[in-house]
Amino acid sequence: MRAVVFENFKTFPSLKDVEKPTPGPGEVLLKVAGAGACHSDVAIFEDFDENNPAGLKPEFTLGHENSGWVEEVGEGVTGFEKGDAYLVYGPIGCGRCKACSRGQDTYCENAATNPYLATGLGRDGGMAEYMTVPARNLVPLGEADPINAAPLSDAALTPYHAIKLSLGHLDGGGKFALVIGLGGLGLIAVQILKALTGATIIATDMKEEAMAEAEKLGAITVPGGEDQVAKIREITGGRGVDAAFDFVGVTPTIGAAMGAMAMQGRLTVVGIAGQPHSWSFYTAPYEVELTSTYWGTIEELHEVAQMYRNGQIVPQVTRYTMDQALEAYQALVDGKISGRAVVVP
């Protein structure tokens, strides 16, 4: 079968023929319906090296945002019907520790000794015709379209987790949320904020088309530039935003968000650019929280799947065939994707 393989650091991935996997004990073989191309993959093949913070080692099949149909089950697996559609919960922890037992494999206590982080991150992922997944990592989709659902596994789950942890800052009337970076994750973040809060959503991106999309979803947009922070403050009546989500994570975006925060607000850096931000007692608004985030829990993926079935999350998907999979990654590198590129093998 064909697969998009991460062969080495600082190397663009390859479309290769690899062996079709067989499901081991406790695993399910999925015929892949969709595989989202996430910007984190670009960081892996462009920026990471042997000393990468995630401990990733080539080679493996990319694709950590997947959906598919049950093809075959491994030893000991029951309760699955061939042809039923599932979302893949990517993170794979030890399955035994306290974090894994609450469905939060992202913070597995045995991460240091686990063989990989997730499907598509160390273990072969879904940019392939077939993939194997531990049965406990599957979330049923029901009758909903599985191809457009693929981005839910990361592009929706990650902002959903971050927004849920910020809800305490957005409840009550007259609140403001800020979304920076309106790509795969950011455009879904706007939809989740709309569905879960009554906050006024302010959004920004370097790309005009991305801001136009966010406006269609109900956000007020403010372009970048020197007066950006002042404009955001003006919209909030001077008070600043109660919660902000930075899907870029460079020094200027963290700085802009921090400058736009209300006292006691919460800024979550989701983007993995990894740039620093300098803080001092006098420059940050009082009691502002600055935090990071990583993916979400499998319970939250069930909730995201329900929001998709309810029509509250509609991923903006451009479909690519397997032959076009590398084009999809190249377009992502070039900043030419609007919403999410999904490879349909």
Say whether 222 sits in a helix, a strand or coil. Answer: coil
CB of 20 to ligand NAD, least distance (A): 28
Across the strands, what pairs with 341?
Answer: 318
CA distance linking residue 28 with residue 134, whole number of Å: 6
CB atoms under 10 Å from CB of 56, counted, come to: 17
Using the minimum distance from each CB to ligand NAD, give the nearer residue, 106 or 114. Answer: 106
Decide whether 94 or 273 has the Cβ nearer to ligand NAD. Answer: 273
Instruction: Please count the residues of this chain forming the interface with Zn ion, following the rule CB under 5 A.
Output: 3
* C-beta closer to Zn ion: residue 44 or 70: 44
Binding partner of residue 250 among Zn ion, ligand NAD, none, CB under 5 to 8 Å per kind? ligand NAD
Nearest CB to ligand NAD, comparing residues 205 and 242: 205
Between the alpha carbon of residue 233 and those of residues 146, 177, 219, 307, the distances in Å are 40, 12, 15, 31
Residue 80 binding partner per list ligand NAD, Zn ion, none, with a CB distance cut-off of 5 to 8 Å that depends on partner kind: none
Q: Which residues bind ligand NAD (CB under 6 A)?
A: 38-40, 43, 154, 158, 180-186, 204-207, 210, 224, 247-250, 253, 270-273, 293-295, 332, 335, 337
For Zn ion, the binding residues in 146-165 under the rule CB under 5 A are: 154
Pick what 253 binds: ligand NAD, Zn ion, none; C-beta below 5 to 8 Å, kind-dependent.
ligand NAD
- Minimum distance, C-beta of residue 38 to Zn ion, in the bound complex (Å): 3
Is 230 or 263 the residue whose CB approaches ligand NAD more closely? 230
Beta carbon of residue 23, minimum distance to ligand NAD (angstroms, whole number)? 27
- For 30-48, letters b (16+ CB in 10 Å) and e give bbbbbbbbbbbbbbbbeeb
> 172-199 in b/e burial notation, b at 16+ Cβ within 10 A?
eeebbbbbbbbbbbbbbbbbbbbebbeb
DSSP-derived pairing of the beta strands 138-140 and 85-88: antiparallel
38 near Zn ion, rule: CB under 5 A: yes
Residue 142 CB partners (closer than 8 Å, separation 6+): 85, 309
- Catalog residues that contact Zn ion under the rule CB under 5 A: 38, 40, 154
